[in-house]
Amino acid sequence: MPKGEGKLIAQNRKARYEYSILDTVEAGIVLQGTEIKSIRAGRINLKDGYAGIRDGEIWLYNVHIAPFDKGNQFNHDPVRTRKLLMKKKQIDKLVGEVKQGGVTLIPLKVYIKNGFAKVLIGLAKGKKQYDKRETIKRRDQDRQLRRAVKENY
């Protein structure tokens, strides 16, 4: 996480395995009702989430925020589409990148910063199967190297 980020709430671990992350951008999330309480309780799932561009705005799709336990009839829809808050220049840059093709916007992390929920959006390019195997091989080699160093000391 970049310097100054707050408490990590949720992380999309599969994203770095499935995609090559080209760039990251921080965005705020427009929440309603008891969603912030559920997020602070860690009841958010980014697994199937993605971001899309609609009418010059960035929207977050398929991110599941569980209904708040102590909520009432004003509880939210768990998988509703949520608007992301970004500066116009950042949105224009992402729109240009996505329109070129071959890339998508993936939520990587959700965290609380200065009392506000933030999401780290990654500009991602899908990996081929052989790239995924290379990632697994590199991770195993790093693990073996750490074990060998640990045994020697």
Q: Which amino acid is at 87?
A: K
> How many angstroms separate the CA atoms of 66 and 45, rounded?
8
| Of 60, 61, 65, 66, residue with least CA distance to 85 | 60
Rounded mean pLDDT of 105-132?
A: 90
Q: Which amino acid is at 55?
A: D
Rounded mean pLDDT of 80-106?
A: 91
Determine whether 84 is exposed, middle or buried from the number of CB atoms within 10 Å of its CB (0-12, 13-18, 19+).
buried
pTM of the model: 0.81
User: How much of the chain exceeds pLDDT 70, in percent?
Assistant: 94
Domains of the chain: 7-126 (2.40.280.10)
Q: Is the pLDDT at 82 greater than 80, yes or no?
A: yes
HEC readout, 43-100: CEECCCCEEEEECCEEEEECCEECCCCCCCCCCCCCCCCEEEECCHHHHHHHHHHHHH
Q: Which amino acid is at 151?
A: E
Q: Is the pLDDT at 56 greater than 80, yes or no?
A: yes
pLDDT at 25: 93
Give the confidence band of 113 by pLDDT, cuts at 50, 70, 90.
Answer: very high
